[in-house]
Each structure stands twice: as structure tokens, then as C-alpha cells.
Amino acid sequence: MKNAFSKEKWAYLRYTISHPMDGFYWIRHQDRGSVPIAILIVICFSLCFSLNRISANFIVNDVYPPSVDSLEELSGILLLYALVCVANWSITCLMNGEGRMKDIAIAVGYGCTPLIPAFLIATALSHVITMEEAAFYSIIIGAGVAYAVILVLIGIMQVHNYTLGKTLQTLVLTFIAILIIIFLCLLLANLIGQVFNFFRYLYIEIIFRA
């Protein structure tokens, strides 16, 4: 654990953000990345996202305040993160991807890094801009999201040693896999519920007869 948050790992995160092609490659081949840091980044991103929704200025913020629940958003984003990683891993396993689960988690987590400053800066900026300058606010968030998307794309590509075309292909399949996983989970939950109900009624029947 101590190793996971070591100075070298943080330094390498910085390197990966600025040199994604090289950075993600050595994450796969030399274990230069750290899963705990990746998860920490996702958590930070979620908090910044909630912060932006609740405290961006009135001029740019059209969110119904009672609808913001940072814990709900955190669990949602973490769940989505886990889903993406699992789905991507299941697809790339079958498509000659070289990345391990660990590498995928790091690639996606590290990729979220630009979103944190983007949301923080945009939220702070929203308090000093007027409506005419609201474009700057959108540009900052847009740039952050674009950078994050590029990072995740390159991350997945380098970790699996894919070409760009094949990466896009696997990402589409990953999306389908996410849907299948959700479907299976719902099915499973339903079935478990029915089994549970069966035993519950059995119990009620026994109680009534006895």
C-alpha cells in the first residue's frame, strides 16, 4: 500500500498525463502505475463533479439543487468505473488485448485526471463571469472532457497494444458488454428475489399450518 502511493508513482502519473503514448505503455510493461491512485482520482473526479453541480454560479447553473446528492453520484460513478473496466477486460480478453484488469483500471482512472482541474477551475470561474462570457466556462469543461477522452482512448490503446481502429472497435463492444452485464445483473436480482420469495411463502405457509 505504501508502495502504491509512493513518490515515484505520483511522479509517473504526471508523466503519463503529459506523455500518454509512452506513459501508458510502460504502465503495462513495467508496472509503473498504481490502482489505488487511479481509484482515488475517480473519487476526486466525482466530488468535483458534485461540487460543480451544487456550487457553480446561478448564471451557468441550471441544476435543481435538491437533486444533487454527492454520495449517490459517487457510488454511481464508481459503479460505472467498475462496469467499464470489467466490460473492457471481458472484451479485450477475447480480442488479443495484452492489458490486465489492473492496467485497464489504471488507464481509465488516470484518464479522468484532467476532469478534476477542469471542473474546479470552471466552478471557480463561474463566479466571476457574466452571461456573455459563459462560453469560457463551457470551453474549460469541454477541453477537460476532450482531454480525458483522448487519455482514456490512448490508455486503452497502449495498454492492450492495439491500433486506433481496433481500440474504437473494442470500445463499441465494451459499450454493448456493459448493457449485457446490466441486463444479466437485473435478471439475477430478479431470480434471487423469486427464490427468496419462494422460501418466504414457504415459511408463511408453515407458520399458518403449524
Instruction: Please report, as ranges, the residues that interact with another protein according to CB under 8 A.
Output: 58-59, 64, 128, 130-132
**Helix, strand, coil distribution of the chain in percent, nearest 5:** 80, 0, 20
Residue 143 makes CB contacts below 8 A (sequence gap 6+) with 114, 118
Residue type, 51: L
What's the min distance (Å) between Cβ of 133 and another protein? 9
Q: Which is nearer to another protein, 63 or 180 (CB)?
A: 63
Which of residues 94 and 131 has its CB atom nearest to another protein in the complex? 131
* Min separation Cβ 135 and another protein, Å: 13
Nearest residue (CB) to another protein, 58 versus 208: 58
For another protein, the closer of residues 19 and 127 by Cβ is: 127
SS3 198: helix
Dist CA 112 CA 16 (whole Å)? 12
Spatial CB neighbours of 162, under 8 Å, sequence gap ≥ 6: 97, 156, 170
Query: Is the CB of 130 or the CB of 163 nearer to another protein?
Result: 130
CA atoms of 41 and 125, how far apart (whole Å):
22
Query: Min. distance of Cβ 138 from another protein in angstroms?
Result: 15
Q: Report, in Å, the least distance between residue 30 CB and another protein.
A: 41
- Closest contact distance (angstroms) between CB of 61 and another protein is 10
CB 67 to another protein: min, Å: 9
Nearer to another protein, 128 or 206 (CB): 128
Burial class (CB in 10 A: 0-12, 13-18, 19+), 119: buried
Q: How far is CA 90 from the centre of its chain?
A: 17
Tell me the three cell numbers of residue 146. 476532450
Q: In this structure, are residues 41 and 68 in contact, taking their beta carbons and an 8 Å threshold?
A: no
